[in-house]
Structures are given as C-alpha cells and as structure tokens.
Amino acid sequence: MSDQPIGGGAAGSSAERTAPVQDVRAQCDTAHTRRMTPHADRKKLLARLRRIEGQVRGLQRMVEEERYCVDVLIQVAAVRAALDAVALQLLEQHTHHCVQDAIRSGNGDEAIDEVLAVVKRLL
C-alpha cells in the first residue's frame, strides 16, 4: 500500500490522508525515478524539519510531565504550522522549477494536475 501513486484517483480520501511516510518522501518522485528539484533549498528544509523534530520531542515531554491539556494543544498547533511552512516552501520550489520545466517541455497539464492534487491533500 505504500506504493500508491500520488494524485491518482480518489485524492483526499481518509485512507490517503494517513498515507505512510514513504508517500511523503515521494512528493516529487511519483514515477519512482524522479527526484527533488536540485534547486530546492534542502539545507533550509532540513533545518526546519530538525526544529520540528525537537518540537515533537517537546510534546512527548509535555505529555510525560502531564502538562495542562491546552498548553499541549497549543504546542500541537505550533508543530502543525511549522509543517505547513515546510510544505509551502517545497511547494514553492516545486512550482518554480519542476512545474515550470514541465510547462516549457509541453507537459504542463500533467504537472499542474499533480500539484493541484497534492495541494488538495494539504488543505
């Protein structure tokens, strides 16, 4: 099941929303041969992801320490916002490079459909 294509068929079903990590890794690799655009600022993406990792560990600590529910929920919201920022950064880079390249080489419709399908999942 971790091998499902992105953007094909029933986009946005609850099963897809809980897709495994491998699915996320494959955002720009739907054909299993494509890779992230070399123009992506991977340093910045990785820095953000490491910070989020720390935030999630902080959440675990808060639960272990039985911190007040609303304080934990506020931290959950912060992690979600941080993940959204990662998604937006990658989406921007993907659109400027992968999608633009596809349009220039005559495959724009496919690339646009793919990016819109993933945007629907992000909403």
| CB-nearer residue toward Cu ion: 98 or 118 | 98
* Options 11-19, 23-31, 53-61, 63-71: segment touching Cu ion (CB under 5 A): 23-31
Is position 28 an interface residue for Cu ion (rule: CB under 5 A)? Answer: yes
**Sign of torsion, CA 107 8 121 82?**
negative
* Options 2-10, 55-63, 76-84, 93-101: segment touching Cu ion (CB under 5 A): 93-101
Judge whether 2 and 23 are in contact, CB under 8 Å. yes
Could you give the CA distance from residue 6 to residue 121 in angstroms, rounded to a whole number?
A: 10
Is position 26 an interface residue for Cu ion (rule: CB under 5 A)? Answer: no
Binding to Cu ion (CB under 5 A) within 49-88 occurs at none
| Chosen residue from 98, 111, 117, 118 binding Cu ion by CB under 5 A | 98
Burial of 50 (0-12, 13-18, 19+ CB in 10 A): exposed
Could you give the CA distance from residue 6 to residue 31 in angstroms, rounded to a whole number?
A: 9
Judge whether 5 and 30 are in contact, CB under 8 Å. yes
* Options 1-9, 20-28, 80-88, 103-111: segment touching Cu ion (CB under 5 A): 20-28
Residues contributing to the site for Cu ion (CB under 5 A): 28, 37, 94, 98
